[in-house]
Structure 1
Amino acid sequence: MADKVYPSRTAANGARTGGGPPPFPATKSQSYPNNRSAYRPGPRRSRSRGCCRVFCCCLFFTLLVLILAVGVASAVVYFLYHPHRPSFSVTSLKLSTFNISSSASTLTSQFDINITARNPNKKITYYYNPTSISIYTRGGIDVGDGSLPGFVHGTKNTTLLSASIASNGQQLDSQSVSTLKSEAKGGLPLVVRLDTKARVKMGSLKSPKVGIRITCDGITVNVPSGNATATASTAGARCKVHSRVKVWKWTF
Structure 2
Amino acid sequence: MTDRIYPSAKPAGANPPASTNGATNPAFPATKAQLYGASRPQYRPQPKPQRYRRSCCCSCILWTIILVIALVFLAAIAGAIFWVLYRPQRPTFSVTTLRISQFNVTRSKDGSSSRLNSKLDLAVSTRNPNKKIVFGYEPITVSASSNGVGIGSGTVPAFVHERKNTTLMKASVTSAGTELDSSSASSLSADLKKKSGLPLEIEMDTKVQVKIGSLKAKKVGIRVSCNGIQAVVPKGKGKSADYS
Instruction: Report the TM-score when normalising by structure 1.
Output: 0.67
**Counterpart in the other structure of 2:163:** 155
Of 101, 115, 120, the match for 1:106:
115
Q: TM-score, normalised by structure 2?
A: 0.69
Compute the RMSD of aligned alpha carbons: 3.5
CA distance in 1, matches of 2:184, 2:67: 52
After superposition, give the CA deviation of every residue in 1:75-126 in whole Å (9 maximum; x if it has no partner). 1111111111111111000001111111141111100000111111111111
- For 2:209, the equivalent position in structure 1 comes to 199
Structure-1 residue corresponding to 2:136:
127
Query: Which residue among 176, 181, 194 is the counterpart of 2:184?
Result: 176
CA distance in 2, matches of 1:50, 1:147: 63
- Unaligned 5+ segments in structure 2 are 1-16, 27-32, 38-42, 239-244
Deviation of 1:55 after TM superposition, in Å, equals: 7.6
Aligned length: 201
1:49-68 matched pairs, under 5 angstroms: 63-68=68-73
1:136 equivalent to 2:145? Answer yes
1:227–1:80 CA distance, 2 compared to 1 (3 A)? same
Q: Which moved more, 1:165-174 or 1:63-72?
A: 63-72
Indicate if the aligned counterparts of 2:200 and 2:228 stay in contact, CA closer than 8 A. Answer: yes
The alpha-carbon distance between structure 1 residues 60 and 146, as it changes in their structure 2 partners (threshold 3 A), is farther
The reply on whether 1:216 has 2:221 as its aligned counterpart is no
Change (3 A) 1:9 1:53: closer
**Largest Rg, 1 or 2:** 2
Q: Do the aligned residues in 2 keep the contact of 1:95 with 1:221 (CA within 8 Å)?
A: yes
d(CA) in 1 for partners of 2:127 and 2:236?
A: 36
The equivalent residue for 2:75 is 70
Aligned AA (2:173): I
Amino acid at match of 1:135: A
- 1:126–1:201: 8 Å Cα contact kept in structure 2? yes
Residue 226 to residue 73, structure 1, CA distance change in 2 (3 Å): same
What residue number does 1:247 align with? none
Preserved CA contact (<8 Å) 1:86 1:118: yes
Separation (CA, whole Å) in 2 of partners of 1:176 and 1:50: 69
Q: Give yes or no for contact 1:132–1:145 (8 Å, CA) kept in 2.
A: yes
Deviations 1:175-205 (A, max 9, x none): 2112222233222111111111111111222
Instruction: Answer yes or no: is the 8 Å Cα contact 1:107–1:169 preserved in 2.
Output: yes
Aligned to 2:90: 85
Cα deviation for residue 222 of structure 1 reads 2.3
| CA 1:102–1:154: 2 relative to 1, 3 Å | same
